Homo-oligomer: A and B are copies of this chain.
Amino acid sequence: MKLPRAFALLTLALLSLAPPAVAQEPAEPPTPASVLAAAPATDWRAIDPEDLLVIVLAPDRDGKERRVVIQLLPPPFSQGWIGNIRTLARAHWWDGTNVYRVVDNWVAQWGDGEDDGEPVKPLPAGLREVPESEYVTQVQPGPEDGRDFVLTPEREEVVINRWLDSYGITAFVAGWPVGLDDQGGRTAWPVHCYGAVGVARDLSPDTGTGAELYAVIGHAPRQLDRNIAVVGRVIEGIEHLATLPRGTGEAGIYADPAQRVPILSVRLGDELPEGGKGSGSEAAGQTPIPRFEYLATDSDSFARYLHVRASRDDPFYQVPAGGIDLCNVQVPVRRAAAD
């Protein structure tokens, strides 16, 4: 039988994840949970409430509240769209909009849902048209050698891990999974993992305003990287989007408008009682939000976490994978301990 030879066998460079040095070997094989439990408080970084976007959906059929908490990306990533999102949130623009599109193993999408020629809700003043060039961002050489970089000279949160996945070079920086270019690693971009939040758009050169957003609710659709702006990730409440009925209309839009899930309000964390200013948003279903923190991706704890995630040898696992793809790592985010 003659076979197409289109896809050649590749030269292999299998991941070789050596375990980081640990002062004392624990008696039990470490698990991701045990690594996190052992991480010192200094390895966790607080998430600023102003970097949170909090969506309150209408209660479910049992009257249970549904709150989705999104962490926005730090500078320098996707800041054009994120600026727009802050403007939209401060204008309370999303209040009264809805989740109008849900596709299995793909996305749940919300906003005005202007899909069939109906009048579009007027947008607030001050939104930028963001160019496609901002899908990627220039990063700075690191302080030590050419293999690391920092986000900005002011924010020396350094990449410590790089490897190859099916899409190219990948790394973690400032708590986020990113892709890197292969010409020296001086361009980086946030990637589409489960829970990633992106900006819906029309065809190029449109890049979307940020008014129509989606969250990934399936296997990472990495083909969207550098083609759509990623602006954040859901850090709590993704199940309120992932369990919504799938749409049966074109492209997964709810065929019956009655299926749309009302959005009661969307607020930045610093508009909420616990977040600082306390502007009295409770009327729109918003309640105080807890403080969140993420495991610093330039910490020793994260290096151990990554190693253990890639090479499980606790009792349930007989064959450690020996590698892990960027989106299967899942940077740890947790509620901060109470004061």
Query: Are B7 and A162 in contact, CB atoms less than 8 angstroms apart?
Result: yes
Asked whether, in the complex, the Cβ of B227 is within 8 Å of the Cβ of A4, the reply is no
Residue among B7, B195, B298 making CB contact with A17, cutoff 8 Å: B7
Q: A143-156 interface mask toward B, CB cutoff 8 Å, 1 = contact, 0 = none?
A: 11001100000001
Q: A222 at the A/B interface (Cβ < 8 Å)?
A: yes
Q: On chain A, which size bracket covers the interface?
A: 35 or more
> Is there contact, CB below 8 Å, between B7 and A303?
yes
Which residue from B3, B164, B328 sits with its C-beta under 8 Å from A10? B164
Distance (Å) between the CB of A20 and the closest chain B CB? Answer: 4
- How many monomers of this chain does the complex have? 2
- In the complex, A315 has a CB within 8 A of chain B: yes
- The answer to whether A221 touches B163, judged by C-beta atoms less than 8 angstroms apart, is no
CB of A258 to closest CB in B, whole Å: 12
In Å, the complex CA distance between A325 and B325 comes to 9
**A144 and B323 contact, CB distance less than 8 A:** no
Q: List 24 A-B contacts (CB under 8 A).
A: A3-B298, A4-B160, A6-B17, A6-B18, A7-B160, A7-B306, A9-B163, A10-B162, A12-B13, A12-B169, A13-B164, A105-B238, A164-B166, A165-B166, A166-B323, A166-B324, A167-B323, A167-B324, A219-B219, A222-B325, A225-B321, A226-B318, A242-B243, A325-B325
